[in-house]
Amino acid sequence: MTTTMSANESKLKVGDVDVQMFSGGTGPGLLYLHGAGGNAGWQPFHEELAKNYKVYAPSLPGFDGTSRPDWISSITDVAHFGHALATSLGLEQYILMGSSMGGWVSAEMAAMDRHQIKGLVLIDPVGIKPEKGEITEIFMVGSDTRLKQRFYDTSQVANYDQYTQELTSDQANMQHSNQAMASRLCWRPYMNNPSLRHYLADVTTPALVIWGKQDAIVPAECGELYQKALANATLKVIDHCGHSPQIEKPQEFHAAVSEFLAGLK
């Protein structure tokens, strides 16, 4: 997929990690963390958020253009790195937003040190194991299957052909590398941390949990579990939508986010 040229791609050194960073906009800081598929670069939803915020969209360690240090082998490790990244960016009282695996990282970051996080937005995050259903297997299936799992109705996805284009050899190698890193972080236990709900019990940061009602990867019941785990959380369920509301239902997504952020003191 291509990136929007209104954003600047840069490199940032955080400890021993060379970070690929996409950023744009002006205003209060907003840190966005991507999912297990990797960082597709600056996207339309970033651009919309950047109308009111200085948006930072890094590639997490081991994904895309960011180096993979040996010491990062769990989501908790990535969360510690996330705090170091926020410090390097000089972020104070910032908005932390994450999708899928990035939502899990964001939740663990909030549990570690919530004092600098003004608001937390979690978009269909993994991290909490469902009580009734199961989180769908995404590592042992082909890319076509993963794409079908991600979206409820592909006719709602703008420029959907970008997702179905044949990959170049470099893109295929990067996709394989991203999958290997995601497996390293999320495989055992699969896509969850049994302790996370206990970590979140003390988090009072205002939180918005956004969920696609027809999410075929993470059951919608997990949205309710996140809402119950967080003391100050609102759950927004978007109907006729899959795992990525920010892409499949952007108007509803941005309306929910705007209302939540406007209510923060």
- CATH classification of the domain holding 33: 3.40.50.1820
246 occurs within a structural domain: yes
Band (7; pLDDT cuts 50, 70, 90): low
Give the count of domains, the chain. 1
Beta-bridge partners for 9: 22
Q: Which pLDDT does position 50 carry in this prediction? A: 96
Reported as type and span, the H/E element at residue 209 is strand 207-212
User: Whole-angstrom Cα distance, residue 113 to residue 80?
Assistant: 10
Q: Which pLDDT does position 2 carry in this prediction? A: 40
Please state whether beta strands 8-14 and 94-99 pair in parallel, antiparallel, or not at all (unpaired). unpaired
Condensed to tens digits (0 to 9), the pLDDT of residues 47-93 reads 999 999 999 999 999 999 999 999 999 999 999 999 999 999 999 99
Q: What is the mean pLDDT of residues 173-194?
A: 95
Q: Residue holding tokens 């993979």?
A: 68
57 occurs within a structural domain: yes
Answer whether residue 133 shows pLDDT above 70. yes
Q: What is the mean pLDDT of residues 222-245?
A: 98
237 occurs within a structural domain: yes
What residues contact residue 121 under an 8 Å CB cut-off, 6+ apart? 95, 96, 97, 98, 106, 207, 208, 210, 257, 260
- Per-residue tokens: 95: 């908005």
Contact between 78 and 61 (Cβ < 8 Å): yes
Q: Which pLDDT does position 6 carry in this prediction? A: 47
User: Whole-angstrom Cα distance, residue 201 to residue 228?
Assistant: 9
Condensed to tens digits (0 to 9), the pLDDT of residues 12-55 reads 999 999 999 999 999 999 999 999 999 999 999 999 999 999 99
1 occurs within a structural domain: no
What residues contact residue 66 under an 8 Å CB cut-off, 6+ apart? 17, 18, 19, 20, 58, 59, 60
What residues contact residue 198 under an 8 Å CB cut-off, 6+ apart? none
68 occurs within a structural domain: yes
Beta-bridge partners for 94: 117
Give the range of the structural domain holding residue 252, as residue numbers without chain letter: 8-262
3 occurs within a structural domain: no
Give the SS3 label for residue 56: strand
Band (141; pLDDT cuts 50, 70, 90): confident
149 occurs within a structural domain: yes
Contact between 38 and 63 (Cβ < 8 Å): yes
Beta-bridge partners for 57: 22
- Lateral strand order in the sheet of 29-33: 8-14, 17-24, 54-58, 29-33, 94-99, 117-123, 207-212, 233-238
Q: What is the percent of the chain with per-residue pLDDT over 90, rounded to a whole number?
A: 89
User: Whole-angstrom Cα distance, residue 166 to residue 170?
Assistant: 11
Q: Residue holding tokens 């420029």?
A: 159
- Per-residue tokens: 32: 């966005």
User: Whole-angstrom Cα distance, residue 177 to residue 67?
Assistant: 11
